[in-house]
Amino acid sequence: MTQPLIQTAAPLPLLRVRQLCKTFGGVHAVEGVCFDLQAGEMLALIGPNGAGKSTTFNLLNGQLKADSGDVLMETGTSLLGLKPRQIQRLGVGRTFQITRTFGSLTVLENVQTACLAQAQQPLQWGMRPLSRTQVAAQTLLEKVGLGAFAHLPSQTLSYGDQKRLELAMVLAGNPRLLLMDEPTAGMALEERLALMTMAKELAQERRMGVLFTEHNLEVVFGFADRVAVMAAGRLIALDSPATVQANPQVQSLYLTPTLKTTTTTTSTTTPTTAFASLTSGASKPKSELV
């Protein structure tokens, strides 16, 4: 006798963003943004300066209060209205464009301090982190490739290694969702590739969702599972890297006037190949207004 098929419900996305909106005066910085992020997925959020990427990040992390919409974790818990510390307790970690570490502490002590914060154990002024966090902190440093630098002052690390240290500190909070705001900004090519390779391995190993903003398109198309594109506060594309790269509307955002002129005056350059040439990171915006 044939057994009836038992249908199981698909797992909920790790993160659900629904109709997220934020205005500053009359400027719609974020308008009706919707997307899902799955566990273990790397989702890149890109767009030109002023597109609303950083504002979106700040809304997700509680740095800014949304005007409307919702941000839901897989448990159904809404993040709207919560403070950054409360959101971190729910399993959301964040790294910043500019690293936030304690230069006067050693590399190991930085991570120990993060471990203490996760355990909600206060660190009194002038006291070093307790030794009981040393094993956990050392394990995290080994994970990000900084084990050999544990006892060095963190201020002596290279910029790329400081980014790794910041990542180790965030991992001390055991995040289910990791927000990385321009993680490779200011880094050399080899450092960029090494950091993003590590992030992808961690995402798969921990089933951790990673949402990252990035101006370097080589990093975006090399590491993202999907790419979301914002322009003027709206989400205009959300698909696989190859599909997004071939999207004419996305191409129009990234093609410079020079490239457009070249496209119309030569038969060997097409919008697609011109857009692909930008993945080298040669045209990299330096800042974002909102």
- Model confidence pLDDT, tens digit, residues 64-105: 999 999 999 999 999 999 999 999 999 999 998 777 788 889
More confident: 275 or 165: 165
C-alpha to C-alpha distance for 3 and 213, rounded to whole angstroms: 48
**Which domains, and CATH codes, for the chain?**
12-85+176-290 (3.40.50.300), 98-174 (no CATH)
Strands (E), the chain: 15-24, 27-37, 42-46, 68-73, 92-95, 177-181, 209-213, 226-231, 234-239
Residue 90: partners with Cβ closer than 8 Å, 6 or more residues away: 73, 77, 79, 82
Please provide the size of the chain in residues.
290
Mean pLDDT along residues 273-286: 39
pLDDT of residue 52: 93
pLDDT of residue 118: 78
More confident: 4 or 163: 163
C-alpha to C-alpha distance for 141 and 153, rounded to whole angstroms: 14
Mean pLDDT (the chain) is 83
Using alpha carbons only, give the angle 49, 51, 54 rounded to the nearest 5 degrees: 85
C-alpha to C-alpha distance for 42 and 213, rounded to whole angstroms: 11
Which has the minimum average pLDDT: 95-109, 125-139, 148-162? 125-139
pLDDT tens-digit series, residues 168-182: 999 999 999 999 999
Report the DSSP beta bridge partners of residue 180.
95, 212
